[in-house]
Amino acid sequence: MRYNRNLVFIASCAGMLLFGIVFLSLGTVLTFVRQQYGLSELQAGSLTALLPFGILAGSIVFGPVVDRYGYKYVLIFSTFIIFLAFEGIAYAGSLLILQIAFLLIGFGGGIINGATNALVSDISSASKGANLSLLGVFYGIGAVGMPFLLGVLSNKFAYASIIAGIGIFVLLPFIFFFIVQFPVSKNKHGTSLKETGRLFSTVLLLLGFVLFFESAVEGIANNWATSFALSVVTPENSFALMALTLSNIALVISRLLLGILLVKVKPYRMLYFCWSCVLIGSLIMYFVHTVAGLYLGMALIGFGFGAGFPVILGYVGELNPGFTGTAFGVVITIALIGNTLINGLTGVVSQRFGVNYFPLVIVACVIAMMIIFAVVFQKMKLKIQAGKEIKEALT
């Protein structure tokens, strides 16, 4: 059955908007949850662990499922459990329900993030990176919109009502997913172990390790920038929050521009350009301890984050057209592991040497990405010879 590409892309953007809301949900609602339910530090800590665990679990399982059964009901299922999770957070009667809700919201978010990226890759015969960049804009809107919405509405409504209302909003894409016709499954009869094993090629794993460090730097920039600003630059919390806001706005602008530029400019060139922006921004933050330096550094870092995921996922989609979901699941899982491990390493560095060294962790990660990508790009060039259809995207 035929599908409307534009409607499918809109559905994907709606799903990515939800993931942006989900990914920022922990930080924005945790204060409310602790106050509303009188949670201890240990109990609140259990929630901070369950959300990323849920995202990781969702990222692992979505790939084989969408390759076998298609996207429609996977997106419907993940959206519905996100709705249930928000309602659970709003009206939980016990810590157990809260823990289940945070696990579910992470699990649904992990599924919807991977599935929407794989879906856009599948419906994009050309310029996968450009379309994935435009998709990423909606993650930024969701990520910025969630705290903004809570800040604006919290003066008029109770937090529980706002969170429950966001849950009701989730039902809009849920209904839309029912209406839209999606691409059919590519592997209705399943995949043999031999075919699955071939997916775990050196090229795919190396691309996964590029995202290992990309996800890490994006994570530590969001998680440690506030501590860095308050300890090294200024004790005023408002300046730190403004720096984070500038970074997120720069990311959205970057993704919008890349949605246009990646149609004309080779993806690997934009990738190196954006990584250079992250390097420069990190070095500015390390050497220039002023508010202006903080703002400029974080803006450059946010702008530089624009290319990483869209370009690398575009390559993954080009190289694995028959198993897009599974291949995306592999690299996204590696990326999430990198986010967790490097965040922990940054904590160790900050404790032993001081948080002022946090920008140098970003520098080290970017250099690692550049080296790994240089190696994998040479391997991809060799692989091009076996498939003319991907030659234009990689050379």
pLDDT 10s digit of each residue in the chain, 395 long? 588 888 999 999 999 988 887 776 656 676 677 777 777 767 777 777 788 888 889 988 888 888 888 889 999 999 999 999 989 888 887 888 888 988 998 899 899 989 999 999 888 877 788 889 989 888 888 877 776 777 677 778 877 788 888 888 889 999 999 999 988 887 665 555 556 666 678 889 999 999 999 999 988 887 788 788 888 888 777 787 788 888 888 998 999 999 888 888 888 899 999 999 999 999 999 998 888 999 999 999 999 999 999 999 989 888 887 788 888 889 999 998 998 888 888 888 888 888 888 899 999 999 999 999 999 988 877 665 555 444 455 44
Domain 5-180 has CATH 1.20.1250.20: yes
Contact 55, 336 (CB under 8 A): yes
Instruction: Write down the pLDDT at residue 360.
Output: 92
DSSP sequence for 241-303: HHHHHHHHHHHHHHHHHHHHHTTTS-HHHHHHHHHHHHHHHHHHHHH--SHHHHHHHHHHHHH
- CATH classification (class only), 199-385: mainly alpha
- Enumerate the domain spans of the chain: 5-180, 199-385
Q: What does the block give as tokens for 387?
A: 């498939």
Residue pointed to by tokens 């990508």:
373
Instruction: Write down the pLDDT at residue 387.
Output: 55
**Torsional sign, CA 169, 174, 179, 185:** positive
In our burial notation (b when 16+ CB lie closer than 10 A, e otherwise), range 70-92 reads bbbebbebbbbbbbbbbbbbbeb
Instruction: Write down the pLDDT at residue 27.
Output: 61
**CA–CA gap between residue 333 and residue 327 (Å, rounded):** 10
Q: What does the block give as tokens for 91?
A: 């009206």
Instruction: Write down the pLDDT at residue 33.
Output: 76
Instruction: Write down the pLDDT at residue 390.
Output: 47
**CA–CA gap between residue 380 and residue 373 (Å, rounded):** 10
Model-level pTM?
0.85
Contact 52, 82 (CB under 8 A): no
CATH topology match: 5-180 vs 199-385: yes
